[in-house]
C-alpha cells in the first residue's frame, strides 16, 4: 500500500512536466499568431547574453521558433520512448544500466522544458520589444522564467529520489 502512493505521485509528476512543455509550446504559437499583424516588418530575432537585441530580421522568422521547439520536442520524445537509442554506458550490471537510462530519460524531460521555455522567452521578447509595450517588468519576467525552469527541475529531483528510495526498500 505504501509503494502505490509514490508510484501515483511519480506518474502525476511525469504528466505535469510533459503537459507543461506542451503548454509552453502552444502558448508561443498563440503569441505569434495573435501579434503577427501588429508587428513591424523588421524585428529583433537574436538576443545576447545580457538580453539586448543583436540581430534584426523579418517578422516571419518568428514562426521558426515555435516550429523548431515542436520538432525538438517530438525528437526528444521519440528518444524517451526508445531508450535503446540513448548512449548509455556499457556495463554488465543491469541495475546500473537501468538507473543510468532512467536518469537520461529524466534529463531529456528537462531538455524539453528548457527548449520550450527558451522558445517562449525569445518569442515574447521579439514581439514586445518592437511594439514598445512590455506588460511585464524585467524583474518580474526574470522571476517567472526562474520559476518555470526551477519547479520542473525540483520535481524531477524529487521523482528520482522517490524512485531510488523505492528501489532500496525492495532490496
Question: 101-105, long-range: CB within 8 Å, 24+ apart, which pairs?
Answer: 102/160, 102/163, 103/160, 105/80
- The DSSP call for residue 59 is G
Is residue 67 very low, low, confident or very high in pLDDT (cuts 50, 70, 90)? very high
How high is the pLDDT of residue 4? 47
The predicted-structure confidence for 125-169, as pLDDT tens digits, reads as follows: 777 766 665 555 556 666 666 776 677 777 777 777 777 777 666
How high is the pLDDT of residue 119? 82
The residue among 73 and 43 whose pLDDT is bigger is: 73
How far apart, in whole angstroms, are the C-alpha atoms of residue 110 and residue 150?
Answer: 10
Positive or negative CA dihedral for 142, 146, 147, 149? positive
Does the pLDDT at position 17 exceed 50? Answer: yes
Amino acid at each position: 500500500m505504501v509503494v502505490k502512493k509514490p508510484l501515483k505521485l511519480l506518474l502525476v509528476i511525469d504528466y505535469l512536466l510533459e503537459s507543461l512543455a506542451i503548454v509552453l509550446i502552444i502558448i508561443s504559437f498563440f503569441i505569434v499568431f495573435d501579434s503577427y499583424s501588429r508587428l513591424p516588418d523588421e524585428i529583433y530575432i537574436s538576443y545576447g547574453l545580457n538580453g539586448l537585441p543583436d540581430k534584426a530580421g523579418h517578422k516571419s522568422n518568428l514562426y521558426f521558433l515555435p516550429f523548431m521547439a515542436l520538432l525538438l520536442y517530438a525528437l526528444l520524445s521519440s528518444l524517451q520512448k526508445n531508450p535503446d537509442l540513448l548512449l548509455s554506458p556499457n556495463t554488465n550490471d543491469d541495475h546500473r544500466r537501468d538507473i543510468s537510462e532512467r536518469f537520461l530519460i529524466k534529463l531529456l524531460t528537462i531538455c524539453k522544458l528548457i527548449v520550450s521555455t527558451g522558445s517562449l522567452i525569445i518569442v515574447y521578447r521579439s514581439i514586445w520589444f518592437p511594439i514598445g509595450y512590455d506588460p511585464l517588468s524585467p524583474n518580474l519576467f526574470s522571476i517567472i522564467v526562474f520559476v518555470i525552469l526551477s519547479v520542473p527541475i525540483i520535481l524531477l529531483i524529487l521523482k528520482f529520489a522517490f524512485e531510488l528510495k523505492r528501489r532500496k526498500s525492495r532490496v
